[in-house]
Amino acid sequence: MKERITGSEALMRSLVNEGVEILFGYPGGAIMPTYDALYDHKTDLHHILVRHEQGAVHAAQGYARVSGKVGCAIVTSGPGAMNTVTGIADAMIDSTPMVVICGQVGAAMLGTDAFQEVDVIGVTQPITKWAFQIRNAEDVAWAVSRAFYIAKSGRPGPVVLDFAKNAQTGMVDYEPAKVDFIRSYRPVLSPSEETIRKAAEMINNSVKPLVLVGQGVELGDAREELRTFIEKADMPAGCTLLGLSALPSDHPLNMGMLGMHGNLAPNVMTNQCDLLIAVGMRFDDRVTGNLATYAKQAKIIHFDIDPSEIDKNVKTDLAVVGDCKDTLARVTALLDKQSHEAWKAGFAPYRDREEKKVIEPALHPMEGPLLMGEVVRAVSEATENKAVLVTDVGQNQMFGCRYFKFNEGRSVVTSGGCGTMGFGLPAAIGATFGAPERKVCLFVGDGGLQMTIQELGTIMEQRAPVKIILLNNNYLGNVRQWQYMFFDKRYSFTPMLNPDYEQIASAYNIPACTVTERKDLAGAIDEMLRTEGPYLLQCAVMEEDNVLPMTPPGANVDEMLLEVK
């Protein structure tokens, strides 16, 4: 039965229809009719007022990443919408399902440079899966349903709905819409039996296979399928930054993290394997290093849901385009049970070398100031490796991802492709809503924290139980490391004078503590985890620590530096 309601009310009902429970947002002029409608939906739509629109999108991303649901942000036109742009680009490159609804001036005023009018569609089209302007109330139900279908299907991504004010106030005979088919859009292709058979044959014939595990495995909810796949053919695997929790850290076939600051063994062995099997990863330059020398000796199979990823960076011998939950299972069924003992044993010397040269000194230093690595590992162990890791960007991110351990899926929330400083704090807020039953631990530097520090206000208001571990080194540490290594130690604007973070936390009514001595670390972490709600643990870490190992930019994947000269 149709009911005559406003476009704004139609939006509320459409969101509820799509299963939305939580919205992160910030009101403003051009979205006021929608906020007025929201006032009557306080029971079915929980709106979280952030302190800046960038916070809304990153929170929606954090929510989506841990829950697997579509994150939703709602902001006003012009500056409100523009403040979401970084988060939208971040969600696009990291394949995060998100719908951003922004107000827009009335259709009659479009293109007249009206107050707070920005061409949002023009700006966001290149960084969204779909961007659509709702110009009349009749389109609301259809557009919202289409937006959610596009955001979550196939390779997920962000969608922008630019909601003109006249469409918010206009009346419509509302009828729920359900879009689950778009003829120009085939979100998931299914590879032929021939392709599946060929993939299995290549794997069965390989004596030195290496699997690269990407976030696609998490997005496709294919952790079990991946495990069976690698176990049956006894294939060692490395994980990308975003794929870290797709395979338990302590799985015997998990050889560690790939990439510039990943583990030595999987990076070196990439250039020794005879078959490279990439699953749901996109051969980012931070993973491959110099493409001209990358895995040239190996045949390459690429499992991906997105046909445009095939042969984009690395030329593949066989593409298996489809949903890896389906394709991995189909290939696994045709695999011979194998044992690659000799090949696997080849990883050990590299692992031992890294352990001795890098990991041991990072985790168990005998003296000197606190190190980021030991803080990360101590927090991970104190949560029995069950927590959600959220990081900001920089050294905190690399140490966080290197030394945190994972037992469960959907446990890494970090800005991979975009490398957005300031992502961490709001993303962690979103993660607490996406996984309320889990502990959410954020590692953030003194640089990144201050980029979105206003979200402490959101934490205060929501009592969002974010455990903030501030790794304070009084530097923009990652840039400082590069300056040290590649710019002749010229520390151009990387040292930073910091405020008193404990006082800031206290102003926001967030309990806080600072650790400077190694002997106090374990106790402080226990206190943080025991405390209900949010907590800020500031760790005064070594100022000029370097993330190692490192593949210098443009170097070969097997030429990792284990020390900085």
Partner 1 sequence: MNNDKSKAGQCGDCNTCGKCEPGHEGETLYTMLIYSENYAGILNQITAVFTRRQVNIESLNVCASSTPGVHKYTITCYCDEPMAKMLTKQIEKKIDVLQANYFTDDEIFILEACLIKVSTPLILENKNVSRIVRMHGARIVEVNPTYSIIEKKGMTEDILSLFHTLNEIGVVLQFVRSGRIAVTKSRIEKLDRYLEERELSRNS
CB of residue 306 to partner 1, shortest distance in Å: 7
Please, is 518 exposed, middle or buried when counting C-beta atoms within 10 Å of its C-beta (0-12, 13-18, 19+)? middle
Across 437-450, b (16+ Cβ under 10 Å) vs e yields ebbbbbbbbbbbbb
Pull the structure tokens for residue 66: 């841990």
Amino acid sitting at position 210: L
CB of residue 342 to partner 1, shortest distance in Å: 36
Q: Which is nearer to partner 1, 219 or 539 (CB)?
A: 219
Instruction: Report if residue 492 touches partner 1, rule: CB under 8 A.
Output: no
Q: Which is nearer to partner 1, 186 or 364 (CB)?
A: 186
Q: Which is nearer to partner 1, 125 or 205 (CB)?
A: 125
Across 49-61, b (16+ Cβ under 10 Å) vs e yields ebbbbbbbbbbbb
Instruction: Report if residue 507 touches partner 1, rule: CB under 8 A.
Output: no
Q: Which one of 16, 32, 109, 121 is in contact with partner 1 (CB under 8 A)?
A: 121
Q: Which is nearer to partner 1, 118 or 203 (CB)?
A: 118
Contacts of 230 (CB under 8 A, 6+ apart): 211, 236, 237, 247, 253
Q: Which one of 43, 181, 339, 368 is in contact with partner 1 (CB under 8 A)?
A: 181
From the list 17-25, 120-128, 271-279, 412-420, the region that binds partner 1 by CB under 8 A is: 120-128
Q: Which one of 98, 150, 388, 421 is in contact with partner 1 (CB under 8 A)?
A: 150
Q: Which is nearer to partner 1, 130 or 403 (CB)?
A: 130
C-alpha count within 13 angstroms, C-beta hemisphere, residue 280 = 35
Distances (CA, A) of 432 to 223, 411, 441, 533: 22, 12, 10, 10
Mask 367-396, x = binds partner 1 (CB under 8 A)?
------------------------------
Q: Which is nearer to partner 1, 178 or 186 (CB)?
A: 186
Q: Which one of 79, 171, 173, 185 is in contact with partner 1 (CB under 8 A)?
A: 185
Q: Which one of 35, 130, 350, 501 is in contact with partner 1 (CB under 8 A)?
A: 130
Q: Which is nearer to partner 1, 185 or 486 (CB)?
A: 185
Mask 282-321, x = binds partner 1 (CB under 8 A)?
------------------------xxx-xxx---------
In angstroms and rounded to an integer, the radius of gyration of the C-alpha atoms of the chain is 24
| Cα distance between residue 391 and residue 467, in whole Å | 11
Q: How many CB atoms lie within 10 A of CB 523?
A: 11
Q: How many CB atoms lie within 10 A of CB 409?
A: 18
From the list 58-66, 124-132, 212-220, 395-403, the region that binds partner 1 by CB under 8 A is: 124-132
Residue 477: closest CA among 359, 419, 377, 393: 393
Amino acid sitting at position 545: D
Instruction: Report if residue 123 touches partner 1, rule: CB under 8 A.
Output: no
Enclosing H/E stretch for 55: helix 53-67
- Using CB under 8 A, which residues numbered 318 to 357 contact partner 1? none
| Cα distance between residue 223 and residue 65, in whole Å | 15
The residue ranges that bind partner 1 (CB under 8 A) are 121-122, 125-126, 129-130, 150, 181-186, 306-308, 310-312
